[in-house]
Amino acid sequence: MNIKEYISSGIVESYVLGLASEEERSEFEQLCKQYPELIKARTEFEMELEGLAFKNAISPSEDLKSKVFNEINTQTKVISMSMDSLGRTNWWRYVAAACILLLAGSIYLNIILSNKNNKLKNDYNNTSAELAVMKKDIEKLRGNPDVKMASMKGTEISPQSFATVYWDTTTHDVYLMLNNLPKPASDKQYQLWALLDGQPIDIGLIDNKYFVEQDKLLVRAKNIQNAQAFAITLEKKGRADISKPGGPIYVVGNL
């Protein structure tokens, strides 16, 4: 490239005055790195232009300066804040504050999660203990010639209902299988009765938790020395005297 020709082509003026195209600008800037004389020509023209601008200067009114300062000073607050946080004087404070916040958040979460975890652990332990007992119970019942069974069929109010009692004649243990009973309302509760000579004997309230799932559950009831039949009634929860049935019979069956 003939740099002299380039310099006198008008590109210097065009560049300085902001009239050059994007392409011309980047070419000019590239060439400036190679040719010091190009920079010299540019600076010369810049100085001439500056001189011309000063010669044709017009003083603005006095109040304009304070307007400008008002505006930049309201902006400075914003700028200086972002400067601080970006890493000048006190950046570590923000980092420290952020760390403390993060730590606090983390501790809080830990507590919550640990509580949740403990509760799940407890629930799990309880459930597996219950399951182990039930398994043991089933083992006992299975193939035990001493165990008698009473199938309790649904009464008129609940013909679909069905439950089974297993009664060990030697140990007098009573097991109840809830084959099919409607889930009671939250203020109601089933109660299992042994019937002896027409008299009902309470052998246990059935916790509503056994109705959470559809699975047939085996529930252990109170021991009973002797019985001819068994029945389940639906009772009001928390009633005073639980030794006498008050609610309707859902299922009943003879041994």
Choosing from 1, 22, 23, 61, the residue that interacts with other proteins (CB under 8 A) is 61
Please write down the HEC assignment for all residues of 106-127: HHHHHHHHHHHHHHHHHHHHHH
54 binds other proteins (CB under 8 A): yes
Query: Which one, 72 or 98, has the nearer CB to other proteins?
Result: 72
Least Å distance, CB 24 to other proteins, is 10
Q: Give SS3 for 214.
A: coil
81 binds other proteins (CB under 8 A): no
Choosing from 34, 43, 106, 122, the residue that interacts with other proteins (CB under 8 A) is 43
Q: What's the CA gap between 148 and 255, in Å, rounded?
A: 7
Q: Give SS3 for 155.
A: coil
Q: What's the CA gap between 182 and 53, in Å, rounded?
A: 97
Query: Which one, 79 or 99, has the nearer CB to other proteins?
Result: 79
52 binds other proteins (CB under 8 A): yes
Choosing from 2, 5, 56, 142, the residue that interacts with other proteins (CB under 8 A) is 56
Q: What's the CA gap between 214 and 49, in Å, rounded?
A: 93
The answer to whether 174 touches 191, Cβ cutoff 8 Å, is: no
Q: Give SS3 for 23.
A: helix
Least Å distance, CB 13 to other proteins, is 4
**Interface with other proteins by CB under 8 A: which residues?**
8-11, 13-14, 16-19, 21, 29, 32, 42-43, 45-54, 56-61, 64-65, 67-69, 71-73, 75-76, 79-80, 83
